Chains A and B, each alone.
With several copies, the nearest count.
Chain A
């Protein structure tokens, strides 16, 4: 398969890959933003004392974590119309990604918040801050530093997961490779190019993570006792 590797065909398909790349990129960005929103809501519910709020969040997170994205995607894609909600594929795909990643992000944020030492919370309490003030002024600013690296890790997972959207006819990066494979019967060319594009996205996110770590690390937190 490799000895006849045709760069010429790849070049010919490059515009298609370009479109796919752009689609994957913006699709991932939108999904990730949605996932952040879902994650924050879930995490906020999960941190409440009231079991009434906590339990649904916990069940949701477990259900998402224990089942494959594919099943979730089809659940939405074929399930929503039965409830009379017919949405465009792209929308369903983004929704599925956001709902899926949101569960993981909720856990990441929760871990970040719980990593803030009890003493910080108590200092806030002792100076008369309300719950929301403590969250806003003391806990979240510190938790964000801890959560950004794992969040970017989750972003990497999300980008790769978005490949599954090709199953419900969303044109993205993986689709471009599949088209090359099925029009021209050149699977090696198709998949190698796809992989290269994903690798570019991966390194982009990774350097973003490194950059943010350095940027946040300007003022290393943690006292010198």
Chain B
């Protein structure tokens, strides 16, 4: 479903992605972790073209990114992206946030889009917040709206960039619960997160990145109980200690 083959990326002189080769199967859930600045965000932002790559191949849903023939706008409708900072549209209500793309991109009739939007919001536990503006919602609620916004487009792939790290501790679990629900519907998912409980519960694979390179991949059990490299051991000790 997603395939990196020797992908490199620079920001100016900074080599942020170093020869990444990695593939994600349909219906697979992959968790990406690694220290700050290691290139995790850059990696998944490449997948829906928020960043462009310099060399190597990146094939998503059968289409090679950067090809003339690939219509990025269309491809993006197949990919949901959840941001750390939620990025809800502050001038629109929850329901409007959720129906904006279906109506304008998928050209679904408003009534129909709203029906499915309501259903999706109910599914993430916000049946009573249809008409609330983002500023009236807690962080956890905002992030759940953001997830619903992606799901409404019925994407094939869901990408998450540290979806819970801007949240208060008690709100983290409500968002993780929703994500577990999505994972259980067996959608292709790639999740950047430090929530190891989540990784253990739903991930088929954990990818550990450091300094722009994929250093280690493995099943959650392997990775947490027996990290192979020094760098992953040091990282795990830091985030699991407290």
Q: Do A and B contact each other directly (Cβ–Cβ < 8 Å)?
A: yes
Q: Which residues of A pack against B, CB within 8 Å?
A: 117, 119-120, 122-123, 125-130, 133, 137-138, 141-142, 145, 219-225
Q: Let me know if B73 is at the binding interface, CB within 8 A.
A: yes
Given contacts A123-B88, A126-B80, A127-B150, 10 further A-B contacts (CB under 8 A): A123-B83, A127-B153, A129-B73, A129-B105, A130-B73, A137-B100, A145-B91, A219-B135, A223-B135, A225-B166
Indicate if the CB atoms of B91 and A219 lie closer than 8 Å: yes
Query: Looking at the complex, which one of A130, A141, A142, A225 makes contact with B86 (CB distance below 8 Å)?
Result: A225
How many Cβ-Cβ contacts under 8 Å join chain A to chain B? 84
Give A128 to B108 CA distance when docked, in angstroms.
14
Give A5 to B133 CA distance when docked, in angstroms.
58
Contacts of A123 in B (CB 8 A): 81, 83, 87-89
Contacts of A224 in B (CB 8 A): 134-135, 137-139, 142
Indicate if the CB atoms of B89 and A120 lie closer than 8 Å: yes
Indicate if the CB atoms of A127 and B90 lie closer than 8 Å: no
Indicate if the CB atoms of A127 and B135 lie closer than 8 Å: no
Contacts of B135 in A (CB 8 A): 219-224
User: If the complex has contacts A123-B89, A222-B90, are A137 and B104 also in contact, measured as CB distance less than 8 A?
Assistant: yes
Residue picked from A119, A126, A142, A224, most chain B C-beta under 10 Å:
A126
Q: Let me know if B79 is at the binding interface, CB within 8 A.
A: yes
B72 to chain A, nearest CB (A): 9
Q: Let me know if B188 is at the binding interface, CB within 8 A.
A: no
Give A223 to B100 CA distance when docked, in angstroms.
18
Q: Which residue of A lies closest to B78 (CB)?
A: A128
User: If the complex has contacts A125-B50, A129-B105, are A223 and B86 also in contact, measured as CB distance less than 8 A?
Assistant: yes
A123 to chain B, nearest CB (A): 4
Contacts of B134 in A (CB 8 A): 223-224
Contacts of A130 in B (CB 8 A): 73
Q: Let me know if B101 is at the binding interface, CB within 8 A.
A: yes
Contacts of B137 in A (CB 8 A): 224
Query: Looking at the complex, which one of A120, A126, A141, A221 makes contact with B79 (CB distance below 8 Å)?
Result: A126
Interface flags for B186-228 (1: CB within 8 Å of A; 0: not) read 0000000000000000000000000000000000000000000
Q: Which residue of B lies closest to A221 (CB)?
A: B90
Contacts of B104 in A (CB 8 A): 129, 133, 137
Indicate if the CB atoms of B88 and A223 lie closer than 8 Å: yes
Listed A/B pairs (26) with beta-carbon separation below 8 Å? A117-B87, A123-B81, A123-B83, A125-B48, A125-B49, A125-B76, A126-B50, A126-B76, A126-B80, A127-B76, A127-B100, A128-B77, A128-B101, A129-B104, A133-B104, A137-B100, A137-B104, A142-B89, A219-B135, A220-B135, A221-B91, A222-B90, A223-B86, A224-B137, A225-B85, A225-B86
Contacts of B86 in A (CB 8 A): 223, 225
Contacts of A120 in B (CB 8 A): 87, 89
Interface flags for B54-96 (1: CB within 8 Å of A; 0: not) read 0000000000000000000110110111010111111100000
Contacts of A225 in B (CB 8 A): 85-86, 139, 142, 166
User: If the complex has contacts A219-B91, A219-B135, A225-B86, are A128 and B74 also in contact, measured as CB distance less than 8 A?
Assistant: yes
